[in-house]
């Protein structure tokens, strides 16, 4: 998530492995502006560092150690703009007994300088608060609940609806904007001096708070479906199935027609 606008960028389901870390970081890169390398803050999972390095690294030529001899082989190194820090927590009997801050890529001075501009420190509080919100609003994530979601697909469907609801329909108190002119409220209440704001409004994706009905009825462009090509047992031309296991796969139209005539 982006802590400035509270926008939930990517959400995924499954075991926290290197494959999932690569998938999450790849989706984040698709939403970033060109030549944008933000500061990344995560927990102590080491697979995130590999994913960031693979997406934001570059080939570099090491300097020659000797005056003579061949040049050393190029190495895949992190880019100069890549900054990545971790928050490593130690638990004992389900209680936090220690917190360590570790800079994996970059320097501590640059990380502190970027966070000081927003008045923050190295932390994962925003994501942890988001996890609590997910557990409260997505029934399948809670423990000992009576839901029909017993598989990964059902959980993904619920999280997809929550993803849209969180970004477009759920106002954040910390994102509210002051009104230039107070607006009268219904009844005898005091005038409205604040305008509610959602993460999508703070990120510039929309200009109003969506209703749940508007979010469910909104039309989205179709996404490319994965094309699964399965190798058939034989070539099918018209209504005639041509086995190609014993005779070998035909390489041209003449061989296909010859095979069809032999099978007929």
Torsional class of 198: left (φ above 0), alpha (ψ -120 to 50), beta (otherwise) = beta
2-50 residue pLDDT tens: 998 999 999 998 889 999 999 999 999 999 988 889 999 999 899 999 9
pLDDT reported for residue 152: 80
pLDDT tens-digit profile of 102-135?
A: 999 999 999 999 999 888 999 999 999 998 999 8
What pLDDT sits at residue 211?
A: 93
What's residue 86's pLDDT? 94
Number of Cβ atoms within 10 Å of the Cβ of 210: 19
Alpha-carbon torsion angle 120, 122, 125, 127, nearest 10:
110
What local confidence, expressed as pLDDT, does residue 231 receive?
A: 47
Query: Average model confidence (pLDDT) for the chain?
Result: 82
Q: What pLDDT does 226 receive?
A: 66
CA 254 to chain centre: 50
pLDDT digits (tens, 9 = 90+) for 74-86: 888 898 899 999 9
Q: What pLDDT is recorded for position 162?
A: 93
In this structure, of 89-103, 105-119, 125-139, 226-240, the range with the lowest mean pLDDT score is 226-240
Q: Which one is predicted more confidently, 168 or 242?
A: 168
Break the chain into its structural domains and give their ranges. 1-60+78-128
pLDDT class for 225, splitting at 50, 70, 90? Answer: low
- pLDDT classification of 235: cutoffs 50, 70, 90: very low
pLDDT higher than threshold 60 for residue 264:
no
CA atoms within 13 A on the CB side of 11: 18
Q: What are the structure tokens assigned to 247, written together? A: 């005779």
pLDDT of 171 > 90? The answer is: yes
Q: Name beta bridge partners: 102.
A: 86
pTM over 0.95: no
Answer yes or no: is pLDDT of 241 > 50: no
| Secondary structure tally for the chain: helices H, strands E | 8, 9
Contact status, residue 2 vs residue 9, Cβ threshold 8 Å: yes
Partners of 95 in the β-ladder:
92
Which pLDDT band, with edges at 50, 70 and 90, does 228 fall under? low
């Amino acid at each position: 998530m982006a802590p400035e606008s509270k926008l939930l960028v990517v959400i995924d389901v499954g075991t926290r492995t290197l494959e999932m870390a690569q998938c999450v970081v790849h989706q984040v890169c698709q939403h970033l502006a060109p030549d944008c390398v933000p500061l990344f803050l995560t927990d102590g999972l080491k697979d995130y560092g590999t994913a960031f390095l693979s997406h934001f690294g570059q080939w570099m030529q090491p300097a020659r150690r000797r005056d003579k001899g061949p040049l050393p082989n190029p190495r895949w190194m992190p880019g100069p703009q890549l900054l990545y820090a971790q928050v490593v927590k130690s638990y004992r009997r389900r209680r936090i007994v220690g917190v360590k801050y570790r800079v994996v890529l970059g320097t501590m001075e640059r990380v502190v300088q970027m966070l000081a501009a927003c008045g923050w420190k190295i932390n994962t509080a925003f994501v942890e608060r988001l996890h609590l919100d997910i557990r409260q609003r997505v029934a399948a994530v809670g423990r000992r609940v009576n839901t029909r979601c017993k598989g990964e697909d059902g959980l993904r469907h619920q999280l997809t609806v929550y993803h849209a609801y969180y970004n477009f329909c759920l106002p954040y108190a910390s994102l509210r904007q002051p009104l230039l002119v107070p607006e009268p409220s219904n009844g005898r209440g005091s005038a409205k001096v604040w305008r509610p704001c959602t993460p999508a409004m703070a990120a510039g994706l929309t200009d109003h708070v969506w209703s749940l009905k508007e979010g469910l009825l909104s039309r989205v462009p179709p996404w490319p479906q994965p094309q699964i090509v399965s190798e058939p047992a034989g070539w099918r031309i018209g209504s005639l199935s041509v086995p190609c296991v014993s005779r070998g796969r035909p390489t041209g139209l003449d061989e296909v027609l010859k095979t069809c005539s032999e099978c007929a």
